[in-house]
Copies of this chain bind each other. A is one copy, B any other.
C-alpha cells in the first residue's frame, strides 16, 4: 500500500526496520534465527526490516522479548 503521508526520512516503518536490523546484528542474531525464535515468519521479518510492513504491537513485543531488550529500546525511532 502506498502511503503518501511519510517520506523516506520520517516513515516510521523504515525507521523501525533499520533500528531492528541494527539491534539484531549487534546482538548477534541472524534474521532466520530471530524469525524462528520469535515465531514471526522469516519473509515477514524481512519485510519489516526493509520498512515494507506496518508491524503491530504484539509482534514488536515478541521481537523485544526474543532479543531480551525493553520494547522502548526497540522502538527508539
Contacts and interface: CB of A to CB of B under 8 A. Distances in A.
Interface of A: 3, 12-13, 16, 54-58, 60-61, 70-73, 75-77
Q: Can you tell how many copies of this chain the complex includes?
A: 2
A21 to B, nearest CB: 15
Given A72-B75, A76-B71, A57 B58 contact: no
A12 B57 contact: yes
A55 B57 CA distance: 6
Given A71-B75, A72-B76, 16 more contacts: A3-B58, A12-B60, A12-B71, A13-B57, A16-B57, A54-B58, A56-B56, A56-B57, A57-B60, A60-B75, A61-B77, A70-B76, A71-B76, A71-B77, A72-B75, A75-B75
A70 to B, nearest CB: 8
